[in-house]
């Protein structure tokens, strides 16, 4: 049979109404949506990251979009990919624990208001592969009845780093080429890690004081003309 309302209770505007279930005779509190706490979260960062980056930050804001103030502990938690290591976690009024990548606070958040933002700072592994990585945060509170809008995702792109690569000769002033372009002075390029380029030197050739020079070897042991692959650390190639 249909449940009946306990008509002995006066009508009121309290957030919870008590209904009787005739079958079980139990009382079940049902929250009216208009009176509930509703926490939402936003998370953001600036630009793409690169392998080996340090001090990159995410900013997180928590807002109460419900009609009631929060009551009790509010917990903010972060989830980072394995290529990132959190180094600093802080925010005005937040009590943060770096080891667990989480923060808490117990001051009531008024309906329609936001807490001061929290900031997590991370370092990126130097060996991180290029690609998109999931980064997320979530907020929870015992008084929040709708957990569906509590997480936030902030996918982060890790790009390929550029690496300083210098090409020169010994003695200085001899001609060499990089991908077909000829130079006669030392050149430092910013090349993308993993890219390939061809370095070459002519032999014999006339150098300083009209002396003749014959190629012996590149500093990496490569042939007079050979292809190099850019690594993750700065490097210098010398034609001897």
The pLDDT tens digits of the residues spanning 144-180 come to: 877 777 899 999 999 887 888 999 999 999 999 999 9
Nearest Cα residue to 206 out of 181, 176, 178, 174: 174
**What percent of the chain has pLDDT above 90?**
60
Give 158-201 as a DSSP string: EPPPEEEEEEEESSTT--EEETTEEESS-EEEEEETT-EEEEEE
Cα distance between residue 100 and residue 49, in whole Å: 23
Categorize the per-residue pLDDT at 101 as very low, low, confident or very high, splitting at 50, 70 and 90: very high
| pTM score of the predicted model | 0.61
């Amino acid at each position: 049979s249909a449940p009946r309302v306990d008509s002995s209770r006066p009508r009121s505007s309290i957030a919870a109404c008590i209904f009787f279930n005739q079958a079980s005779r139990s009382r079940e509190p049902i929250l009216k949506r208009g009176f509930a706490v509703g926490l939402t979260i936003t998370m953001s960062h600036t630009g793409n990251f690169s392998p080996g980056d340090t001090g990159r930050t995410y900013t997180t804001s928590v807002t109460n979009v419900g009609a009631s103030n929060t009551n009790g502990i509010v917990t903010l938690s972060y989830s980072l990919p394995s290529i990132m290591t959190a180094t600093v976690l802080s925010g005005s009024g937040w009590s943060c624990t770096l080891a667990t990548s989480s923060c808490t606070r117990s001051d009531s958040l008024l309906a329609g208001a936001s807490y001061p933002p929290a900031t997590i700072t991370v370092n990126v592994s130097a060996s991180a592969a290029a690609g998109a990585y999931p980064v997320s945060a979530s907020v929870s509170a015992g008084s929040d009845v709708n957990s569906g809008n509590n997480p936030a995702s902030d996918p982060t792109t890790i790009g390929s780093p550029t690496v300083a690569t210098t090409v020169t000769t010994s003695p200085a002033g001899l001609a060499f080429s990089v991908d077909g372009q000829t130079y006669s002075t030392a050149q430092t390029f910013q090349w993308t890690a993993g890219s390939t380029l061809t370095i070459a030197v002519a032999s014999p050739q006339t150098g300083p004081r009209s002396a003749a020079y014959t190629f012996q070897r590149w500093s990496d042991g490569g042939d007079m003309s050979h292809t190099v692959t850019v690594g993750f650390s700065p490097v210098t190639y010398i034609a001897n």
